[in-house]
Amino acid sequence: MEIREKICTGLKLIKEKSPLIHHITNYVTVNDCANIVLAIGGSPVMADDSAEVTEMVGFASALVLNIGTLNTRTIESMLIAGLKAKELGVPVILDPVGVGATKLRTDTADKLIRELKPEVIRGNMSEIKVLAGLEAAIKGVDSLADEHGSSVVAKKLAIELGSIIAITGKTDVVSDGSQVCLIDNGHRILGDVTGTGCMTTSLVGTFCGATKDYYTAAVAGIISMGLAGEIAHASLRHGEGIGTFRARLFDSIYNLTPEILAKEGKLNYE
Amino acid sequence: MEIREKICTGLKLIKEKSPLIHHITNYVTVNDCANIVLAIGGSPVMADDSAEVTEMVGFASALVLNIGTLNTRTIESMLIAGLKAKELGVPVILDPVGVGATKLRTDTADKLIRELKPEVIRGNMSEIKVLAGLEAAIKGVDSLADEHGSSVVAKKLAIELGSIIAITGKTDVVSDGSQVCLIDNGHRILGDVTGTGCMTTSLVGTFCGATKDYYTAAVAGIISMGLAGEIAHASLRHGEGIGTFRARLFDSIYNLTPEILAKEGKLNYE
Amino acid sequence: MEIREKICTGLKLIKEKSPLIHHITNYVTVNDCANIVLAIGGSPVMADDSAEVTEMVGFASALVLNIGTLNTRTIESMLIAGLKAKELGVPVILDPVGVGATKLRTDTADKLIRELKPEVIRGNMSEIKVLAGLEAAIKGVDSLADEHGSSVVAKKLAIELGSIIAITGKTDVVSDGSQVCLIDNGHRILGDVTGTGCMTTSLVGTFCGATKDYYTAAVAGIISMGLAGEIAHASLRHGEGIGTFRARLFDSIYNLTPEILAKEGKLNYE
């Protein structure tokens, strides 16, 4: 089956199954993550107490871990939930927000990767470079790295970690260590709204919850956000900006059909 | 006074008094809860540290407890705040989000009900069935239970717990153990947005903060959200979805008048 | 340079530098604060664990502390981050949300002011009166105080604390102890949306991150929000309310130009 067809099937499966996506995530964009999962057809649940994450992950089809606002309590919960997910065969999707900016973030990402071997890791180039042990200019949690060599980095790191690596930027790159897919959807304005990275990870998680083909899931999640960004931006009129754009972004994901998703994806793959 | 008239009065009183509604709630939908209270004319305050909840509840006209993202720290705060509320005669409104999904949620809901005897408990059918000791299919925090027998369950549980029970679903049911009110407002799209349940509870809380008639308050809060959902959905144009719907939901609550609320409510009562 | 010119320059500098604004803030309006910083051209980062705030503040151009939902863990982080900020010459902007409502808030605000001597303190009249040791009617976190004598209070407190004092209300007042600026932008509907106060503080923080002239920064941040409120309100059509208004508020900040900001500011200064 060609990848466009697989992406199409992926979205159909989400709409059919409404997979439950358990998140342990940051409090900045948590509401956006819940709404984006609902918009695409999944079912979000946020639970982060160590006393309940094991049970909750037992109902889940995927586990999204996002280190945007870490603390000692939630780090422990991420590990407990992640280990249970691995035991149950529930895919773990990691968003290493701001890794490299602080020791806490770097140590936590390293630990989560080592102990959980996430099925998918999605970050910007700065974050992925840190995970790959390369130098990268980190300024808070924003990416300043250029896109050059993204596919080399993604492929290399995917082999090294045994995880699918998804790097989002001007051109997005996904690799499982053998395949590489470049995606050219999206719009610059997505960077002007908080949480578009986190939401992309949640969309990847939702696709992972509907299909065992996590490589396709990562590609599909990224295209979904990129395409929704294009549609939302194209709808803006004079005087409108990121407030209206945000609302339309959810609208666009909500109205995305499997056919449009597969057809409008700007993919290049090896 | 007929119930429609009481509902009308309830909203007038909110607009006049702007009651302060103290929330200890989850971090997923907390912003939505604050804005919905403001939209209808109340005044929200969110404070969850055990060191300050006693004082804060002293200013409040109602206390909303929502167990959507529990942890040890906030459970303790809910109990402290709740006991103070009981002492002061401030009504307690409980939203047992996801009860039955995990032991932590079930134990916490049980404890809060036993120790605080909330004036109103609002949940979906799955959640209320768990509280009633009935079997229910729980999938994370979403309701999968059918609506059959809702009014029997609501009435029975209201008598058993001495609380007003409000079950939201396709048809909503409110009972205080003797009266039963069925409400047929709302739209299916409300289930596609996170926080519409939590916001309904906050609206119920706001009505409880304005009138001592908590049964009417529960009915009024539920109609408000249902009606706003209908109005917001009716306004959607081609290409719009949950992003625009959410904005319009707040618009619709903001523009709700006592007259419209009383007139458009689809009520059946015994 | 006249103040209008300085304001104009301030916004230009934000657009050029995209200063990183580190927030330790409440979980109610944190998403709004992140998006408003992005909307005006800054770069927000939220990090509140004591293990990482020292490093994060090292990347930041300003530190915003907001006590809206305090707890023991974040109070400690605010102090650690604040002391590091002072050491590095990073300006500290304090939003004493609800000070006076509870002992925890009053004690924390007092401690933060005493130990950190914030460059700017922004609150409503009730909050500032508490800091000034004057009586004020406090009802939760909402302001009930009248505006009379605002400039006297602002000036007096600015001298006493050595901080720039910004009081927002119908007429906003900013003083550094010698200068006083009155601002008449804004619209009453801003009070019907949660987080407009917090966002104003974040805007002040973003201006402080772009210029060392913190007095102008405080004035510019307040005008920005007031002006955006006016523009957003003027755009509302029949049936629209705070949901649409909120989206337009972000739109308006996003589209604000240095020229409009300087030109449309309704300023009176001594």
pLDDT score at A144: 45
Q: Is the dihedral of CA B74, B75, B78, B81 positive or negative?
A: negative
Pick from B141, B194, B244: which is nearest to A38 by CB?
B194
CB neighbour class for A2 (10 Å; exposed up to 12, middle 13-18, buried from 19): exposed
Q: How many CB atoms lie within 10 A of CB A165?
A: 30
Residue of chain B whose Cα is closest to the Cα of A254: B241
Other C-beta atoms lying within 10 Å of the C-beta of residue A7: 26
**Tens-place pLDDT, residues A21-34:** 999 999 999 999 99
Rg (CA), chain C: 17
| The pair of three-digit structure tokens given for residue A238, joined into one six-digit string | 């004079």
User: In this structure, what is the dihedral angle of CA atoms A96, A201, A84, C48, given to the nearest 10 degrees?
Assistant: 40
pLDDT single digits (tens) A155-213: 999 999 999 999 999 999 999 999 999 999 999 999 999 999 999 999 999 999 999 99
Our count of domains for chain A comes to: 1
Runs of H (alpha helix) within chain B: 3-17, 30-40, 53-59, 72-88, 103-116, 125-131, 150-161, 196-210, 214-234, 242-254, 258-264
Give the model's pLDDT for residue B135: 58
pLDDT in tens, chain B (270 residues): 799 999 999 999 999 999 999 999 999 999 999 999 999 999 999 999 999 999 999 999 999 999 999 999 999 999 999 999 999 999 999 999 999 999 999 999 999 999 999 999 999 999 999 999 875 545 555 554 455 588 999 999 999 999 999 999 999 999 999 999 999 999 999 999 999 999 999 999 999 999 999 999 999 999 999 999 999 999 999 999 999 999 999 999 999 999 999 899 999 987
Q: Which amino acid is at A59?
A: F
Helix axes B242-254 and A242-254, enclosed angle (nearest 10): 120
- Burial (CB count <10 Å: 0-12, 13-18, 19+), residue C235: middle
Interface test with C, best of B49, B90, B236 (most C CBs within 10 A): B49
Check C243 against B254: CB less than 8 A apart.
Answer: yes
Instruction: Specify the CATH number for the domain of residue A64.
Output: 3.40.1190.20
Q: How far apart are CA B242 and CA A40, in angstroms?
A: 10
CB-based contact B31 C31, cutoff 8 Å = yes
Inter-chain residue contact A103 with C55, CB threshold 8 Å: yes
| Measured distance CA(B148)–CA(B7) in Å, rounded | 27
Whether C140 sits inside 8 A of B45 (CB atoms) is yes
Q: Identify the pLDDT of residue A183.
A: 97
Residue C158 sits at φ, ψ, to 5 deg, of: -60, -40
At position B165, the amino acid (one-letter code) is: I
What does DSSP say about strands B20-24 and A120-124: parallel, antiparallel, or unpaired?
unpaired
Please give, rounded to a whole number of angstroms, the shortest distance from the CA of B215 to a CA of chain C: 26
Of all residues in chain C, the one with the smallest CA distance to A192 is C38
* Closest of C74, C69, C37, C78 to residue C205, by C-alpha: C37
HSE-CB for B196 with a 13 A CA cutoff:
32
* Positions in chain C short of pLDDT 70: 135-148
Domain that holds residue B134: 3-269
Q: C25, C26, C27: which to substitute to probe chain B, counting the most B Cβ within 10 Å? A: C27
User: In chain A, what's the furthest Cα-to-Cα distance?
Assistant: 52
Provide the shortest C-alpha distance from residue A196 to chain C (in Å). 11
Structure tokens at C205: 């923080």
Q: Are B257 and B245 in contact (CB under 8 A)?
A: no
What are the residues of chain C with a beta carbon less than 8 Å away from any beta carbon of chain A? 20, 22, 27, 30-31, 34-35, 38-39, 43-49, 51-52, 55-56, 59-60, 73, 235, 246-255
Q: What is the DSSP letter of A189?
A: G
**Nearest CB neighbour to C242, from listed B38, B46, B52:** B38
> Cα distance from C245 to chain B (closest Cα, Å)?
8
Cβ neighbours of residue A144 closer than 8 Å, sequence gap 6 or more: A126, A136, A137, A138
Q: How far is C16 from chain B (nearest CA, A)?
A: 31
Cα–Cα distance measured from residue A24 to residue A19, given in angstroms and rounded to the nearest whole number: 16
- Residue B195 assigned as binding residue: yes
Measured between alpha carbons, how far is C225 from C228 in angstroms, rounded to an integer? 5
- The answer to whether residues C87 and A110 touch, using CB atoms and an 8 Å cutoff, is no
ipTM: 0.95
